[in-house]
Amino acid sequence: MADFPLIRPVFDENELACVEQCLRSGHVTQGPFVREFEESFAQMHGVRHAFAVTSCTTALHLALVAAGVSAGDEVIVPAFSWVSTANAVEYVGAKPVFADIAPHDFNINADLLGDLITHRTKAVIAVHLFGAMADMPRIREIAARHTLCVIEDAACAAGASRAGENAGAAGDVGCFSFHPRKVITTGEGGMVTTNSEEIAYKIKVLRNHGITPQPLSHMSHSWQMPEIAECGYNYRMSDIQAAVGVAQLRKMKNILQERQRIALCYSKRLCSCQSLRLPQAAPLAAHTWQSYVVCLKDATVEKRNRIMDTLQQASIESRPGTQAIPRLTYYANKYGLSAAAFPVAMRSEDLSITLPVFHGMSEEQIDHVCTVLLRACEDDPRP
């Protein structure tokens, strides 16, 4: 295990106490902790509805189904994201149409959306990559002109905001992740958020096998089998996971403050390096710094790889920011995609380096990472 990991989950006796309470209760499927987790998460993000699910991938799947996306439709997605953003579109039989990203924040370039919309386009997925919210007012404006659903892939953005708008409340549906590399974690898990009563009802039914909620007054016997009018899924989060989530939410403000501190330290230490482009938060934005990702300016993927090898030799974990999805074999072959059509996404995968941001990281540790990185950048004259 690296001495300087990308992230460490922030667990203490509070998570243990909540899990113990859950286990002693004997109620380990959906129950009181799921309800508390959902209600607290919704309140924290300023939305009316939140539904705990098994992952952000299943959250995206539910969002697309609830939005009525189906076979033959098209959904615009950013070319630079984790593959599940596009995979969820494939699940419903629709076609992901890739948009290149803006170089300054790694998010979908809203200026390109107009040229990608066709009569088949049903939705846009805006990813808030690495914890920085996309330009949601611009995306909503374009989507509204074409009656498109706006889905936020907020996997990295629990607690993010921009110009007074919270992640998960800025589109029609929001989808979050609680994977261990995210701001808070339940091991695996996700959340769907919405202010739409219609979408909320669909999500509630679809995540629970398609079971139609029935008032108790309609249930003449406790053994009565449920009414199922939809083909749904088993995407429910367990109470054990939600117990961890409840404890994590209680410390999320502190976790975000700590990540902000580390990001500021990195930026102060690295700002004089002419060969690196540093990440920046937009004006009036609260960035979660789920990842601190730098990019080489004038270099090759080979040089980037040599730098990451040097970091690895120093027991410093790093990796590329994320994937240029059109480059992946499945999507390149199925849709005949050319890397040349997505130059910013390709450069971002080839030249990006994610640096460690773990809770409790000291200024000395940050300085050590920066020293190794700067030497690797400056001491190697090869492109």
Catalytic residues: 182
Helices (H), 285-340: 301-313, 329-335
Element (H, E) at 203: helix 197-206
Hunting for tokens 């309140």 — which residue is that?
43
Give how far the C-alpha of residue 30 lies from the chain's centroid of Cα atoms, to the nearest Å: 23
Whether the Cβ atoms of residue 289 and residue 262 lie closer than 8 Å to each other: yes
Whether the Cβ atoms of residue 332 and residue 310 lie closer than 8 Å to each other: no
What is the DSSP-derived secondary structure letter of residue 130?
G
Element (H, E) at 38: helix 32-45
Phi, psi angles (nearest 5°) of residue 49: -135, 140
β pairing state of 149-153 and 121-127? parallel
**Measured distance CA(129)–CA(200) in Å, rounded:** 25
Classify residue 223 as exposed, middle or buried by CB count within 10 Å of its CB (0-12, 13-18, 19+): exposed
Contacts of 167 (CB under 8 A, 6+ apart): 45, 128, 133, 152, 154, 157, 158, 159, 160, 161, 174, 176
